[in-house]
Structure 1
Amino acid sequence: MLIQAAAESTAEPIPRTILSELIDDAVTAIPKVISGALFLVLAYFVIKLALLLTRSVLERMHPADQTLIVDLSVTIVGLFLWFGAVLAFLKIVGLGDVAASLGTAGGFVGLGVAFALKEMIADTVAGVYLLRDPDFEVGDTVETASVTGTVTRIDLRKTRIRADDETLVVLANRDVEKKWTKQPTSVGDAQATPRAE
């Protein structure tokens, strides 16, 4: 009986201690959570403004037919800004170690994704160059990758060329950018214009 009473007396304060610690931790965490929520609201508006400004500047730099470059650039800027905002939020709410680990892991994941998608990235970079090149435009007759025909469409990753036999050939931009030659299209063109290096 005495042992049971002693066990009950020591067992009863433990739940109260855990509950009081939980309440104390919640009270301590409330200002951090409120600060984090306010930061996220502010970050949302700042990032929206930054993306609008980025889009505005890029649209002035690129002609209307190069909206793919603008969209890609704005998306990349947005990803970096939101990743930084999430890391800052974690730091504000007291999870600095998680933020540091997430930042390091994000770097390694980024390297892995870049390695896995290296051909897609090469196509995209070559696509940006092709879209910006005034000598390589839709309607031009070109010879590239053993294909001679008229360029019908240039995307970020693929270029479509209508061959002389009317077949549509879709080529990866990295293959087109390596070597292409513009064919004469009018009487004024005396010779083919090779791609400038």
Structure 2
Amino acid sequence: MSTVVRFLVDTTVRTINEFAAGIQTAAPKLLTGVVFLLLAYVGIRLVTGVFRRTLGAIYPDEQGLIVDLGVTVAAVFLWFGAALTLLEILGMGEIAASLGTAAGFVALGVSYALSNMIADTVAGVYLLRDPDFNPGDEVKSDPVTGVVTAIELRKTRFRDGEGRTVVVANRDVEKKWTRLAGVDDASDDPVSDVTDGGEG
């Protein structure tokens, strides 16, 4: 019985000693990793803040969705790079390399799977930037003719002649649309104020 107890005590002591030695060995790397994370957090906040202000100066307030999208994409890339660097600091360079490669394949697959969503988002950016396509404009698009009530990153909302809200994917709107009348030119003859969009 005493042999079993001695064996358990020796095993426990050896495990504790090895654990303590492992912590002692890893402590400098862990400390470096914590310092890096703090610096990365501050740096990324500064970079995204400057990026947000820069985009905010370029795009007006009503195009805030474009600013939010740009800042989010930049933040994701920066944090992913920081995560890979942290793994390298902690001595897991092979894992970082594998993650980088795997992330490339995953991004390729995701971009293929979300190709329609990406097309809607890109078309939404173009529509938001187009001075001839604004809320309040009467627009004829392929699936609907009506007044634009909202332009979002992935879809545009119209109010048709019967007062119904029609939601159309931005990629479908951007292909071909015609502006019939708008808030600024409501007094003009709608027939003489036709503007084709989506072609340049």
Q: Which TM bucket (shorter chain)? A: 0.7 to 0.9
Q: What is the aligned length?
A: 192
- Per-residue CA distance 1:36-95 (angstroms, 9 max, x = gap): 000000000000001100100000000110000000110000000000001101100111
- Per-residue CA distance 1:100-154 (angstroms, 9 max, x = gap): 1111111111111111111111111100000000011111111101311111110
For residue 87 of structure 1, what is the aligned residue in structure 2?
84
For residue 32 of structure 2, what is the aligned residue in structure 1?
35
Identity %: 50
Structure 2 Cα separation of the partners of residues 165 and 23 of structure 1 = 75
Residue 62 (str. 1) matches residue 59 (str. 2): yes
Q: How does the TM-score come out when normalised to structure 1? A: 0.88
**Residue type matched to 1:137 in 2?**
N
Structure 2 Cα separation of the partners of residues 17 and 154 of structure 1 = 66
For residue 120 of structure 2, what is the aligned residue in structure 1?
123
Residue 181 (str. 1) matches residue 149 (str. 2): no
- Displacement of 1:14: 7.6
Q: How does the TM-score come out when normalised to structure 2? A: 0.86
* Residue number among 44, 48, 64 corresponding to 1:47 in the alignment: 44
Structure 1 Cα separation of the partners of residues 138 and 96 of structure 2 = 53
Structure 1 Cα separation of the partners of residues 78 and 121 of structure 2 = 21
Larger Rg: 1
Structure 1 Cα separation of the partners of residues 145 and 110 of structure 2 = 34
Q: Which deviates further from its counterpart, 10-19 or 89-98?
A: 10-19
What SS is found at the alignment partner of 1:162? strand
1:7-22 residue pairs with structure 2 within 5 A? 20-22=17-19
For residue 155 of structure 2, what is the aligned residue in structure 1?
158
Residue 76 (str. 1) matches residue 73 (str. 2): yes
- Displacement of 1:27: 1.4
Structure 1 Cα separation of the partners of residues 189 and 106 of structure 2 = 54
Structure 1 Cα separation of the partners of residues 106 and 131 of structure 2 = 36
